[in-house]
Amino acid sequence: MELNQLLERITDEIAPLRGAGSVADYIPALARVDPSRFGIAVADLDGGVHGTGDWEIPFSVQSISKVFTLALVLADSDDVLWQRVGREPSGSPFNSLVQLEHERGIPRNPFINAGALIVTDQLISLVGDASTELLALLRAESGNADLRVDDEVAGSEAAHADRNLALTHFMASYGNMRNPVATVLDQYFRQCSIAMSCRDLALAGLFLAAHGLRRDGSSMLTSRQAKRINAIMLTCGTYDAAGEFAYRVGVPGKSGVGGGILAIIPGRCSIAVWSPGLDKRGNSVAGVAALDHFTTLTGWSIF
């Protein structure tokens, strides 16, 4: 079956799930998004990109940005970061404080909020303006020079930041923060508030399917580094439901509370799906179902 036909079929099959779940409302600007939106895009290693539904409408990437900040930091150095953050699934909610106290300010992995704040802190130490560096990467890889931070979403996050403030101060109290808390949070909110479409995101993530090679053939990461990011996506990328996601979809994935999911099929393609209704763990209901159909119909799970 042609990829376009396959995506149309999946879009039809998940139609009853459009609007299921609930939109993230702890960031008020996200609560205003229409929950029945659905889009999916697949970018293949030859540079082709296919999509259906709302695949060209920008949405808030939120935690999906964490994949790209991690790639920027690891591209510079593999070692330093792993003294400050672990790489095990947390089994706890993405914004939990409890585990952080037990483990003395060292977050379990780079994709829970605490871990992502460490990655952003490290990126600030490397480049200064971390979110601008991230935007440059995303613009180059997606080919979309118009990608922007949505200032309204960033402002909304900053105005409702008690939990992220607590996490960052808590890590600072253990000596695991190099830059001022306010600077790290400002950059973190800006990175999470970047707006991208499924098309942009699938193209931007392609280097992870291409063993670290960017679309122009240059190296973003070594194949070993790309393998490692994919492994962390598989084990830690979908909140405390990474086991369920691996069971249903069977490929590395990273979700965000904006309802997007970036999924990577190493050696084949990168897939971005978006539908804002979230399940209780914070993953898009229709998005996970669509990816489940995709890997089932194509047989392209890594298992």
What pairs with residue 43 in β-bridges? 49, 270
Among 18, 44, 50, 62, binds ligand GLU (CB under 6 A): 62
Q: Toward ligand GLU, which CB reaches closer, 29 or 210?
A: 29
235 binds ligand GLU (CB under 6 A): no
- Report the alpha-carbon distance of residue 252 to residue 231 in Å, rounded: 7
256 binds ligand GLU (CB under 6 A): yes
133 binds ligand GLU (CB under 6 A): no
192 binds ligand GLU (CB under 6 A): yes
Please state the closest distance from residue 77 (CB atom) to ligand GLU, in A: 25
Question: Dihedral sign, CA of 204, 210, 215, 221?
Answer: positive
Q: Toward ligand GLU, which CB reaches closer, 92 or 95?
A: 95
196 binds ligand GLU (CB under 6 A): no
176 binds ligand GLU (CB under 6 A): no
274 binds ligand GLU (CB under 6 A): no
- Exposed, middle or buried by CB within 10 Å (0-12, 13-18, 19+), for 104? exposed
- Exposed, middle or buried by CB within 10 Å (0-12, 13-18, 19+), for 273? buried
Total number of residues that touch ligand GLU (CB under 6 A):
10
Please state the closest distance from residue 256 (CB atom) to ligand GLU, in A: 4
Q: Toward ligand GLU, which CB reaches closer, 52 or 187?
A: 187
113 binds ligand GLU (CB under 6 A): yes
CA 220 to chain centre: 17
130 binds ligand GLU (CB under 6 A): no
Q: Toward ligand GLU, which CB reaches closer, 141 or 157?
A: 157
225 binds ligand GLU (CB under 6 A): no
As a whole number of angstroms, the longest Cα–Cα distance in the chain is: 56
168 binds ligand GLU (CB under 6 A): no
CA separation (Å) from 288 to 130, 179, 245?
30, 36, 7
CA separation (Å) from 171 to 105, 117, 166, 179, 236?
5, 9, 9, 11, 20
Structure tokens given for 209: 């399917």
63 binds ligand GLU (CB under 6 A): yes
291 binds ligand GLU (CB under 6 A): no
Q: Toward ligand GLU, which CB reaches closer, 63 or 275?
A: 63
Per DSSP bridges, beta strands 49-53 and 148-149 are: unpaired
Phi, psi of 40 (to 5 degrees): -145, 140
Please state the closest distance from residue 16 (CB atom) to ligand GLU, in A: 25
Please state the closest distance from residue 61 (CB atom) to ligand GLU, in A: 8
Residues forming the active site? 63, 66, 188, 239, 257
CA separation (Å) from 181 to 71, 109, 115, 174, 250?
22, 19, 14, 13, 37
Q: Toward ligand GLU, which CB reaches closer, 94 or 245?
A: 94
Residues 6+ apart with CB under 8 A from 140: 214
- 97, 170 Cβ separation under 8 angstroms: yes
- Report the alpha-carbon distance of residue 83 to residue 110 in Å, rounded: 12
Footprint of ligand GLU (CB under 6 A): 62-63, 94-95, 113, 157, 164, 192, 256-257
